[in-house]
Amino acid sequence: MNEIHDVIIIGGGPGGLTAGIYTSRERLSTLLLEKMTCGGWPNISGRIENYPGFPKGINGMELSAKFKEQAENFGVEIREFEEAKKIVPGEGLIAVETAKAVYESKVLIIASGSRLRKLGVPGEEELTGKGVSYCATCDGPLYKDKAVAVIGGGNAALEEAVFLTRFVSKLYLVHRRDEFRGEKILVEELEKSEKVEFVLNSFPVSINGDDFVNSITVENKATGKKQDIELAGVFIFVGVEPNSDFFPGAVDLDRAGYVRTDFRMATSHPSIFAAGDVRSGNVRQVAAACGEGVVAALSARDRLRKLKGSSYGR
């Protein structure tokens, strides 16, 4: 027999865990499914300095642990390493299928987040784990006193570049535009480092090496000139893609695959809500995901009250 809950939350990042804190405080039976360990992006973000309440910043994994502990303290049932494979909306209950079981709920909150986009250049797949990385926090210490490149120009790339300067002897920051999209304070910090060299208006065309990375080839957009840069590691941060491919047709998506919602985090299905990086229009920040998790949880609560036919208000 399938387990039936008031609320199922897919995703254990900041948005999903915050939603769980609120639904469990409403005494709603809440199951949270997370395909890996809880935490999401903060787990690989090193130090987070722009989340309110921590004037000196906080380690990302530490912040994630606090989110999870708080959710569990209020009664959220968390099942890690259980990935949602399919969503089957029904007239009464919504089914969520995993490799282990089928769970059902009256309302669903999708907080499945996003994943890093790949470059798609020769050598990337072959050398992943052999000098190609998508997590500086995980792999940065392996490149002590070595030269590396960071590819990208957003906050993720800049934050990881700052982290890498603690270890590497040289860091090439490669960005296809002539200015960065990330926060100015991060750019200023990198500009002060003698280890950092900006390679702007340029993009990688290949990652080179046999058993391990030994160089990258970049092309200047303006001149078309190519150059090889000798190095030992390449860290790639060129944007994200939504984790929405496991529920085709369940709710409306935008052209990029993100879930469309209104201001209540409501989707095209009346009993399905969304929050965090999987949602269209999200600004990809921990604080924003938490706020959306709050709204999604309260909207889910109101939907349940409506389904029960009771009056509800604030």
What is the tens place of the pLDDT at every residue in 172-219? 999 999 999 899 999 999 999 999 999 999 999 999 999 999 999 999
Note whether 143 and 228 are within 8 A (CB).
no
Tell me the percentage of the chain whose pLDDT exceeds 70: 97
Q: Is the pLDDT of residue 150 over 60?
A: yes
If you write DSSP's letter for every residue of 238-297 in order, what string do you get?
Answer: --EEES-TTSTTTS-B-TTSPBP--TT-B-SSTTEEE-GGGBTT----HHHHHHHHHHHH
pLDDT in tens, 151-173: 999 998 999 999 999 999 999 99
Q: Is the pLDDT of residue 21 over 50?
A: yes
Active site residue 290: no
Q: Could you tell me the domains of the chain?
A: 3-116+240-308 (3.50.50.60), 132-236 (3.50.50.60)
**Number of neighbours of residue 90 by Cβ within 10 angstroms:** 9
Q: Is the pLDDT of residue 147 over 60?
A: yes
Q: Is the pLDDT of residue 46 over 80?
A: no
pLDDT confidence bin for 135, thresholds 50/70/90: confident
Tell which residue, 266, 311, 229, has the closest CA to residue 107. Answer: 266
pLDDT confidence bin for 311, thresholds 50/70/90: very low
Active site residue 38: no
pLDDT in tens, 235-255: 999 988 999 999 999 999 999
Of the listed 38, 139, 277, 290, which one is catalytic?
Answer: 139
Give the SS3 label for residue 129: coil
Of the listed 138, 228, 245, 254, which one is catalytic?
Answer: 138
Note whether 102 and 95 are within 8 A (CB).
yes
Q: Is the pLDDT of residue 314 over 80?
A: no
pLDDT in tens, 272-306: 999 999 999 988 889 999 999 999 999 999 999 99
pTM: 0.80
Q: Is the pLDDT of residue 91 over 50?
A: yes
